[in-house]
Amino acid sequence: MRHTRDLESLVRRAYHSERLPAGNEGREAVVGAMMREARSCRRADRLDALASFVGAQVRFVGWRAWAAQTVVVVLMAAVCTSGAGGRTVAAATSLLAATSAAIGLPWLLASRAQGMAELERSCPFGAGSVALARLLVLGMASALSLTGILVVAPALAGTDLVITAVRAAAPYLLSCAGALALGMRSSRTDAALAGVAWVTLVAAASCAVYAAVPAAYDAASMWVWGVASGIGAAWSLAEAISWVRACAYGMAPLPNRTGTPAL
């Protein structure tokens, strides 16, 4: 009994010491602290949920995209070790970089092609979040192959790292931008086909430039590729933003550049 009374006394003193301070200011301070703690917990929960959501998109993409990007690096290594000349290696760099952009299109355009965008829009993480997460995951897969190209070409063929980077960046970024633009503005059934057709056109243009104007792959033409890379980067960013925003609308109706639904 004595131990019980001692415990009750300790608990009573603890409650008295934690009593709300008198006056409105003290109560407001306590309520404010509680609200801040609640917001902090909600933010932590959202971050955990977002990490799980992005992880789910990694599982959705699966191993095939990563394996295909690895094949791109293997092909680059094969070209570099085949004894081909510097211009051939440069043309292969551009061709394979465009191919890297095409690999992710089936997964990126899946919601649009299968008519699932409106359903995803109603989920806790809407279609816009799905599109952004897939862009991030597929971008990481492409970054794997592009990094491999930038490592393999200088190491095995002796090409300059900066020149290799701009020759890979220009077709890759232009392919991404055009595929997003056509995939968003084409009909649902033609979205994937239009994106692949654009990437094929960019890859074919790279080969045509190599055949018609081999000097375009000389070191002196690096500034041309640099300008093309800058244009591709700006265009890709604009189209990626438009794509995520359009997905947030469920792709029906398609939003215009001002962020309002197109009529």
In 3D space, the residue among 167, 32, 50 whose CA is nearest the CA of residue 97 turns out to be 167
Q: How far from 89 is each of 34, 68, 80, CA to CA, in Å?
A: 63, 20, 6
Reported as a single tens digit per residue, the pLDDT across 164-215 is 899 899 999 999 999 999 888 887 778 888 888 999 999 888 888 877 777 7
Question: With 50 as the cut, is the pLDDT of residue 262 above it?
Answer: no
In the beta sheet, which residues pair with residue 261?
255
Over the stretch 116-153, which tens digit does the pLDDT of each residue have?
655 555 565 666 777 788 888 888 889 989 999 999 99
Band (pLDDT 50/70/90 cuts) for residue 73 is very high
d(CA 223, CA 206): 16
**Average pLDDT score over the chain:** 78
pLDDT, tens digit (0-9, with 9 covering 90-100), for 31-64: 666 677 666 666 655 555 666 666 666 776 778 8
- Rounded CA-CA distance 41/86 in Å is 57
